[in-house]
Amino acid sequence: MMNPRRLAASITCLCLAPLAAFPAPLNLDLGLRASIYDENYKAGIGGELGLIAAATDGWDLGLHGNYSRFRKKTENFPNANEFGGYVGAYYKPKIDQAFWLRIGPHIGYSKIVENYVDIGGDVMAVFKATPSLDFYGAFIPAFFAGPNGQMLIRVGLGLEYHAGG
């Protein structure tokens, strides 16, 4: 089997190639996250930076980098940090509400003590705050494939700035 880090990097590059070809402006994403990782750790607190581009009226593509700090609950475990990133494809269903949804899969890389391929889904409720700023709430469950596979659940709030267009 291919090294999880190389597999995630290869898939990320393949997914980013179409993102570079879009003439649409990129939106900048900044969010705070709380993560539940393992029974030996307290909830992790961290953040996320991202770029989101509108692929079509019904789809967005995103690239996200994230960090979380986990403090130990179990004496024999060290404190841990999560470093990672992923690409996502977000379907935007047409709904008649004051907000819109982004729903879709993501794949990437994460390191918490060990290296993992991060596979999961994203659900976001996005609200228009100003013409150039959106506010969102996110639920991001993930499965970490690799040695000693794990589950991770991220929830968060964030802001998205429309850089142009």
pLDDT tens, per residue, the chain with 165 residues: 456 556 555 555 555 555 555 556 789 999 999 999 888 889 999 999 999 998 888 999 999 999 999 999 988 888 999 999 999 999 999 998 889 999 999 999 999 888 999 999 999 999 999 999 999 999 999 999 988 888 999 999 999 999 865
Domains of the chain, residue spans: 4-162
The whole-model pTM stands at 0.81
Burial class (CB in 10 A: 0-12, 13-18, 19+), 122: buried
Secondary structure tally for the chain: helices H, strands E: 1, 8
Tokens 């900048």 locate to: 28
Spatial separation of the C-alpha atoms in residues 94 and 46, rounded to whole Å? 31
The structural architecture, per CATH, of the domain 4-162 is Beta Barrel (2.40)
Is residue 156 within 8 Å of residue 30, measured between CB atoms? no
